[in-house]
A and B are shown apart, each in its own frame.
Chain A
Amino acid sequence: MTAPAPDSVAGIAAGLARGDFSAEEVARRFLARIEALDSRFNSYITVTAERAIEEARRADDARRRGSAGFLAGVPVAHKDLFCTRGVRTTCGSRMLANHVAAYDATVVELLRRSGMVTLGKTNLDEFAMGSSTESSHFGPVCNPWDPERVAGGSSGGSAAAVAAGLAPVATATDTGGSIRQPAALCGLTGLKPTYGRVSRHGLVAFASSFDQGGLLARSAEDVALVLGEMAGFDERDSTSLDAPVDDYRARLEAPIAGLRIGLVEEQFEDGVEAGVREAVGAAVRVLEGLGATVRPIRLEYADVGIPTYYMLAPAECSSNLSRFDGVRYGFRAPGVSSVEELYVESRTQGFGVEVKRRILAGTYALSKGYYDAYYGKAQRLRRLIADDYRRAFEEVDVIAGPTTPTPAFRLGDRLDDPIAMYLADVFTVGVNLAGLCAVSVPAGFAGSLPVGLQLTGNHLEEARLLNVAHRFQQATDWHLARPPLAEPAGGTPAGRTQDGGTRGGGTQGAAGASEPGPTPAARGRR
């Protein structure tokens, strides 16, 4: 359609290449916006202002020497589930509120190596367990489109930050929908890559056979640019896929005529809010207009996804979170007199209610006498679900449907009803159960709230998904819409200013363990 927005990854990279502005100016502009605006959204847990300026200057130096890569100087925010050396990595939990990682996650290392500038660590549901980013120890995240509503979860901080223009792109993770659902609720493009495509080394585990790192950005193009730097085989992750990384950027523009799109009928029925159905239906017609063909497909076990996921993921979580015992790092309850008390009190006080709920459910599913009926059976159902998709991809290239059954719901609405909360993932968990890749793309609005179109691809079909999403975004401008709230009082609109740097960095505290948490206002807000 048009040139990339100036506050997008592509726009910033192009501006830096042209010398329109320096990386330091870009970093200062985003830091200033964070300082001015984030008290409304609570999207960051830690802002690494000094480090960001330092990294930006290095990127500027590299550019002067001619050794800068394409992304050098482009800012990024990391979901606070990725380990960052020397910077606290909290996972949104009291358990790790003061934990400073001793090493960088592979994703963090790769993006740093590409010259990207880290703005900070974004808020999330505690240990990524949630669909609303309300379970964070650092307070809930608000949706920039409506501060009374959730930003989705668990990557709600990353989503709100990008939506509000507090970062051009953010890393995120997706165990059952945690990238795509907040992308849909915040009007962003969010890609969950194939399981094993992006290294899990340094990604604090929730459910190991589901967790996958990915990205939230405005456009498919931005995702493609950054994914190319962070995807790939990692010898430190046994489940990492040793397959070549596609040139995502080069494939963006390919025509999609002849693309076979499958629709699952049930995803367009009554359980889905009318506004969502309409927007997604219209989006599919846009794809048809670009030459794609649409046919109905059946996913026989689609209904099985949620119960299966909420059996398996908590089981893995119950074991993964056993390491938080107050012995070697993290929170230790004071005043304990025995090892048993040390365990019980550190864990009981260190974890929030949703995490404990899942640990209990997962422990139950694995415990003696119940394994076969619950965990074992769920693993078999997982096979049936994966087989379902395998058959579907023999007939179609991409499956299209709504990312979520409703747009953003109100803060607090589902907190006391875990099952209602879990159902927010009804269209997303299947992808994780089968290890597939999927992207959520802005597809219009239900009322004033964004709606996401989910495109699901077969294993390692990221390039195709980004291609389809990009062609869709060339034909639409939903991804260019900006939430009205994301403007400083009396300030200039996001993306239309290049005069960064006036508010100066460093005011949000130094990098490291001593960084302050969110403001009291943000923490107390519900």
Chain B
Amino acid sequence: MSISHAEVERVARLARLRIDPGELDDRARDLARILELFDRLAAIDTRGVEPLSHPVAESQRLRPDTVTESVDRAALQQGAPEIEDGMYVVPRVIEPR
């Protein structure tokens, strides 16, 4: 199995990671090896097997609708990279929606 540079770039883009041109071969190979490992299992028939998302508990407990969290903005923003007027600041967003 081989993974193209374009595939690696597509996935990196989704994950917001930059892959330098010099790294593309390595990342493509890493990805291919993990997929190859898995592709060996192709012969195992899993049709009709219910996917397992959670190993132990069966269903969700529900929380009563009460306000339990107090918000200490100063404490929560202590390590924030950039704050102005209580807002997190990022470079200007060109609104897509």
Report the separation of the CA atoms of residues A418 and B31 in the bound assembly, to the nearest whole angstrom.
Answer: 10
Report the separation of the CA atoms of residues A5 and B53 in the bound assembly, to the nearest whole angstrom.
Answer: 43
Report the separation of the CA atoms of residues A339 and B88 in the bound assembly, to the nearest whole angstrom.
Answer: 12
Pick the interface stretch among A64-72, A277-285, A376-384: A376-384
CB distance from A50 to the nearest CB of B (A): 20
Would you call B51 and A376 a contact (CB within 8 A)? yes
* Any B CB within 8 A of the CB of A434: yes
Contact of A102 (CB < 8 Å), options: B49, B60, B75: B75
Decide: A381 near B44, CB < 8 A? Known: A241-B56, A418-B30. yes
- The range of chain B's interface size is 35 or more
* Any B CB within 8 A of the CB of A327: yes
User: What residues of B have a CB within 8 angstroms of the CB of A332 in the complex?
Assistant: 81-82
User: What residues of B have a CB within 8 angstroms of the CB of A377 in the complex?
Assistant: 38, 41, 46
Q: Which of B41-64 contact A (CB under 8 A)?
A: 41, 44, 46, 49-57, 60-61, 63
Decide: A360 near B38, CB < 8 A? Known: A238-B61, A332-B82. no
User: What residues of A have a CB within 8 angstroms of the CB of B92 in the complex?
Assistant: 338-339
Contact of A308 (CB < 8 Å), options: B27, B41, B63: B41
Contact of B18 (CB < 8 Å), options: A310, A318, A344, A383: A344
For B11, B55, B72, which residue has the most chain A Cβ atoms within 10 angstroms? B55
User: What residues of A have a CB within 8 angstroms of the CB of B56 in the complex?
Assistant: 194-196, 239, 241, 435, 459
Pick the interface stretch among A361-369, A396-404, A468-476: A361-369
Decide: A348 near B82, CB < 8 A? Known: A307-B41, A360-B31, A381-B46. no
- The range of chain A's interface size is 35 or more
* Any A CB within 8 A of the CB of B97: no
Q: Which of B63-94 contact A (CB under 8 A)?
A: 63, 72, 75-76, 78-82, 88, 90-93
Decide: A379 near B51, CB < 8 A? Known: A195-B56, A242-B61. yes
Would you call A379 and B53 a contact (CB within 8 A)? yes
Contact with B along A386-426 (1 / 0, CB 8 A): 10000000000000000000000000000000110000000
CB distance from A341 to the nearest CB of B (A): 7
* Any B CB within 8 A of the CB of A14: no
Would you call B61 and A383 a contact (CB within 8 A)? no
Would you call A196 and B57 a contact (CB within 8 A)? yes
Decide: A359 near B15, CB < 8 A? Known: A196-B56, A304-B44, A339-B91. yes
Report the separation of the CA atoms of residues A332 and B63 in the bound assembly, to the nearest whole angstrom.
Answer: 35
> Of all chain A residues, which has the CB nearest B20?
A348
* Any B CB within 8 A of the CB of A342: yes
User: What residues of B have a CB within 8 angstroms of the CB of A330 in the complex?
Assistant: 79, 81
Would you call B17 and A359 a contact (CB within 8 A)? yes
Decide: A361 near B34, CB < 8 A? Known: A344-B16, A383-B50. yes
Q: Give 5 nearest A-B pairs by CB, closest first.
A: A435-B55, A379-B51, A380-B46, A332-B81, A383-B52
Residues of chain B touching chain A, judged by Cβ–Cβ distance below 8 Å, are 7-8, 10-12, 14-18, 27, 30-31, 33-35, 37-38, 40-41, 44, 46, 49-57, 60-61, 63, 72, 75-76, 78-82, 88, 90-93
A-B contacts, 14 listed (Cβ < 8 Å): A102-B76, A235-B63, A239-B54, A239-B56, A239-B57, A304-B41, A322-B15, A338-B91, A359-B15, A360-B15, A386-B55, A432-B55, A433-B55, A435-B56
- Starting from the known contacts A338-B91, A378-B38, 9 additional A-B residue pairs (CB-CB under 8 Å) come to A209-B53, A209-B55, A210-B55, A239-B57, A336-B91, A347-B16, A351-B17, A361-B31, A383-B51
